[in-house]
Amino acid sequence: MRVLVLYAHPVETSFHAALHARVVAALNAAGHEVDDCDLYAEGFNPVLSREERLNYHNTAVNRAPVQTYVDRLLAAEALVLCFPVWCFGLPAILKGWFDRVLMPGVAFDISDPANVKPALTHLKKIAAFTTYGRPRWMAFFMGDPPRKVITRYLRALTGGTRVGYHAYYHMNVATPESLRRHLDRIDALMRRF
């Protein structure tokens, strides 16, 4: 299966870098064709420009500024996201990718504005691997926006593809052993993906 991995963390020595490496290695070991998109390493610009916003609904021209990312998304059969949760939200670079790439004519069909249809129906699987600095109860109390964006919004854009959301909570008190167990769990999940 062709899998697009979206990775959003700026520090190469972080736990997230290890998590991302484990995801990619396990997918490769399972025989998948992996398109590893490291948004920071690729210098992705997350800012939706004035011109892009003005052309947002014009499906004849809206994808031009991010065509390579659109092509990569449309070529994928599955999507895997690796990102930390910061301030109970997506990292700005990943949110910007959503803003700039998940647009009309790519992620949804607005030819009938009263009946918007999903356009990412080619995605058969979605998984997200994330970390939170705070405990699960705090994320729940805050409404857990990242979980909703991934499990509800992305699912809606695919027409109902099942989404796996795998979070490690309370990174601030993590132990080396608990992190190792989490990486092993991720490895197992991706080998069965």
pLDDT at residue number 113:
87
So what's the pLDDT on residue 138? Answer: 85
User: What is the Cα–Cα distance from 77 to 43, expressed in whole angstroms?
Assistant: 24
* 70 neighbors 105 (Cβ within 8 angstroms): no
What is the residue type of 8? Answer: A
Q: How far apart are CA 186 and CA 128, in angstroms?
A: 10
**How confident is the model at residue 44, as a pLDDT?**
98
Contacts 24+ apart (CB under 8 A), 107-112: 107/157, 108/157, 110/57, 110/59
The confidence score (pLDDT) of residue 59 equals: 92
Q: What is the pLDDT of residues 110-145, one digit of tens each?
A: 999 899 999 999 999 999 999 998 888 888 998 899
CA distances from 45 to 36, 99, 115, 149 (A): 17, 11, 31, 20
d(CA 114, CA 25): 43
Per-residue pLDDT of the chain (193 residues; tens, 9 = 90+): 999 999 999 999 999 999 999 999 999 999 999 999 999 999 999 999 999 999 999 999 999 999 999 999 999 999 999 999 999 999 999 999 999 999 999 999 999 989 999 999 999 999 999 999 888 888 899 889 999 999 999 999 999 999 999 999 999 899 999 999 999 999 999 999 9
Distance CA 17, CA 83 (A): 9
Please give the pLDDT value at position 160.
93
Place of tokens 């490291």: 38
* Alpha carbon separation from 153 to 23, 30, 95, 122, 188 (Å, rounded): 23, 28, 13, 16, 26
One of 3.40.50.360, 1.10.357.10, 3.40.50.300, 3.90.1150.10 is the CATH number of 2-191, namely: 3.40.50.360
> What pLDDT shows up at residue 93?
98
Instruction: Output the pTM of the full model.
Output: 0.94
Provide φ and ψ at 163, rounded to 5°.
-120, 130
User: Are the C-beta atoms of 42 and 82 separated by less than 8 Å?
Assistant: no
Q: What is the pLDDT of residue 49?
A: 96
